[in-house]
Structure formats: C-alpha cells, structure tokens
A and B are shown apart, each in its own frame.
Chain A
Amino acid sequence: MPAPSKTIKPFWPPFAAGLALGFVLLLTFVLTGHGLGATGATTRFTAWLGMTVAPSATQANSYLGQMVENGNPLFSWITWQVIGVGIGAFAAAYFSGHLRLQFDGSKRIGTPARFAAALFGGLAAGFGARISAGCTSGLGLSGAATLSIAAFVFLGTFFAAGLIFSRLFRGV
C-alpha cells in the first residue's frame, strides 16, 4: 500500500463535488433502480445485534421482527453499499492527507460534552430516520432526485430544525 499523503489536499470545490455526487447517484439509479442510503444498513445492523444479544425479544418486536424473518438481516444491498462508503471514505482520506485519529470537537467543547452531543445527536437522527423511513441520503438526496414530495418536506424540516438547534446547542 502506498504511503498516506503527507500534504493536506484541499477539498473539492462544492460545484465539482456536487456534479460528482450527482453522477454517482444517477449511476446508482441506473444500476439498481433506487438511490443511495445509510440508515437502511444501521437498522439492519441493529436487528442483527438484537438477534445476537436477545433473539426472542427481537423476533417478537413488531418493527425489527419483520426484518429478521427471512434470515440474516445484514444480507442486503444497502449493507454492501455502506461498507463501500467506509472503504471509499478511507481511501479518499488516506490519499488526501485527511486521515487523522481524533475526537473531533473536543478542543472546542471538551471531550465529555462532545461525547454526549455526538451520542444524543445520533440518537435523535437514528430515531427520526426510522419515522421518515430514510435519512438525508436515502430520503432527502435520493428522494429529491425523483422529485418526491416527501423528500422536499424532509429537506425543509431538516434544515429548519438544524438552524434552530445549532443556535440552542454547541455540539461541535
């Protein structure tokens, strides 16, 4: 494996990054008939963890139970896609000098506060994405590309809530 980049390469300009992301999303639609996502995989991972830790409670649960009926919930396209996101992000960070082990946000608000903010933020996002059956990628981005009404509503309340809560809390 070649050495990681020592110089920190600049981020792509937003328009170039947006074009690239648009073509990746279009390729995904052409290949699979649906868009990109994230929480589909974390939900399946939760169901898998549930089967490992508490199988009977997971099977009895009306939400996770339907996911584990047909064998291992991880055997799904979205699982491979999210593994791919990790590989792609690692490669990009490695070859751009962006890879650094850190607890980002600690310098600003301290590690305990940053830990709590990341955990609570993740909890709110994880819960919310189950209500809307999709997150910023799966519903907001991929849905908007199909001109879905739900996607534009999601993006509207996403940005409104983001604006309000970023003024109430300093999480990073």
Chain B
Amino acid sequence: MFPLNDGGVISGLVCGILFGFVLERAGFGSPCKLTAQFRFNDWSVFKVMFTAITVSAVGLYLLRLTGLMAADSVFVPTSLLMAAAIGGALVGAGFAIGGYCPGTSIVGLFSGRLDALVFIVGLLLGTVVFAGLYGPTVEAIMAMAEVETGDTLVDAYEFSEPVVLACILVALAGVFALGSWFERRSAEGPVSAEQAVNGAPGEQQA
C-alpha cells in the first residue's frame, strides 16, 4: 500500500513547505540558536532531532507491523561508515563555524538572514571543490569501512527492532533530562524568539 513513491512537484512542495514551516517555528533559522546547542545553553537541536527521529522510526515500524507498508520499501543510506564519519565531521565543523547546516541555511535565508545566503554560496563552492577533486582516490576513501552484512542496525547486527526502538526512546528521555538540566544551570538559557530576531548580540550584551 505505502509508500506511494510519488516523486511529483506537489508532493515535493507539500513536504518541503511543512518541513520549512516546522524548522522556522522551532527556531532553526537562527544561527545563534542553532549554535547555542554547542555552548550547552540551548538543547533545542538535540531535543527536536531526537524527538523527530523517534516519531518517524516508531511510525515506520508500526506501518510495517500493520501491513500498511512493505518491508524494505523505503530508502536506507548505504552503510559506508568512513564516508559518513568524514562527511559528518565536516558538516558539523561547517555548522559550528558558519552557524547553519544546509537545510537550516535555507530557513535562515527565508527569514531574512543574508549571512545564510553567504553560507549557501559556500555550499555551492564546496560542491565545486568536491567535484574538482572527485576521482579514484576520493571514491576509494568513500568506499572504506562498509558494513557488509546490512545497512540498518536491525539487518546488520540482527538486533530486534523493538529493542532498538526502546533504546532510542530511553536516549530521547535522556536527552530531555540532561538538556533541561544544562539549560537550567546555564546563565543564558535557551535563545528566545525575541533574541533570535534581534540577531546574535555583541559580546558586551551577551
């Protein structure tokens, strides 16, 4: 029954509009709020991401359990762990330095932030540099450390899916408990919408 495998314009626009709307209302157009995660005074990034991962992972499981979705019918990234590790580190570094990740830079731009446009120009330049260096050496590095037995935690290591989902739920509770504890302890606390709209303050005001 599902997925519908609808690659059309309307499906793209609908999913994108909802995605962009939610990211903006979560505060993820603000580089100040996004990077506050790494200063530990605002745990919104971890909290929102872990909640979303849990909801959709449990949802996909239930859809398969009830027969509404066939097994192996959604795209799973290949378990090329070297590529994932290097890419993750570079995107994380870019996030800390530039204040956005690729998706949130679109949200930043469309909430009026011209620094996000500069970040997007950087994204395009990074793609050009990658395309320029692409060849046998880069391909060989990207092919390293593939998990041969499968792409998901369930397939590759034969973990039971309910157990993996239960672990994710425990991790989610842990993120909220730990995050809220850090937020209460910090002098600044989470970045409010007023603070975000006013932009990252100067050091004397911070």
Query: In whole angstroms, what is the CA distance A115 to B122 when docked?
Result: 10
Query: In whole angstroms, what is the CA distance A83 to B38 when docked?
Result: 29
Task: Report A121-140 CB contacts with B as 1/0, cut-off 8 Å.
Answer: 11111111111111111011
Residues of A within 8 A of B23 (CB): 21, 85, 88-89
Q: Which of A17, A45, A155 counts the most chain B CB atoms within 10 A?
A: A17
- By the criterion CB–CB under 8 Å, are A124 and B126 in contact? yes
A-B interface contact total, Cβ < 8 Å: 553
Instruction: Tell me the interface secondary structure of chain B in the complex.
Output: helix
- By the criterion CB–CB under 8 Å, are B15 and A11 in contact? no
Query: In whole angstroms, what is the CA distance A96 to B121 when docked?
Result: 27
Query: In whole angstroms, what is the CA distance A149 to B183 when docked?
Result: 30
- By the criterion CB–CB under 8 Å, are A49 and B63 in contact? no
A33 and B5 in contact (CB under 8 A), knowing A117-B97, A161-B88?
yes
Query: In whole angstroms, what is the CA distance A25 to B90 when docked?
Result: 24
Residues of A within 8 A of B196 (CB): 11, 98
Would you give the shortest CB distance from A103 to chain B, in whole angstroms?
5
The answer, yes or no, to whether B158 is at the interface (CB within 8 Å) is: no
Would you give the shortest CB distance from A115 to chain B, in whole angstroms?
6
The answer, yes or no, to whether A28 is at the interface (CB within 8 Å) is: yes
The answer, yes or no, to whether B80 is at the interface (CB within 8 Å) is: yes
The answer, yes or no, to whether B169 is at the interface (CB within 8 Å) is: no
Residue of B nearest to A20 (CB): B22
Interface residues in B38-66 (C-beta closer than 8 Å to A)? 38-39, 43-44, 47-57, 59-60, 63
- By the criterion CB–CB under 8 Å, are B77 and A15 in contact? no
The 6 closest A-B pairs by CB, nearest first: A121-B98, A84-B16, A122-B122, A132-B87, A18-B51, A128-B90
Chain B residues in contact with chain A, CB under 8 A? 2-9, 11-27, 29-33, 35, 37-39, 43-44, 47-57, 59-60, 63, 69, 73-81, 83-116, 118-132, 134-135, 138, 141-142, 147, 150-154, 156, 161, 164, 176, 192-194, 196-197, 199-203, 206
Q: A12-B22, A125-B122, A148-B76 are in contact. List 13 more A-B contacts (CB 8 A).
A: A14-B51, A22-B53, A26-B55, A105-B199, A124-B90, A127-B129, A132-B91, A147-B57, A150-B77, A153-B85, A154-B91, A158-B89, A166-B96
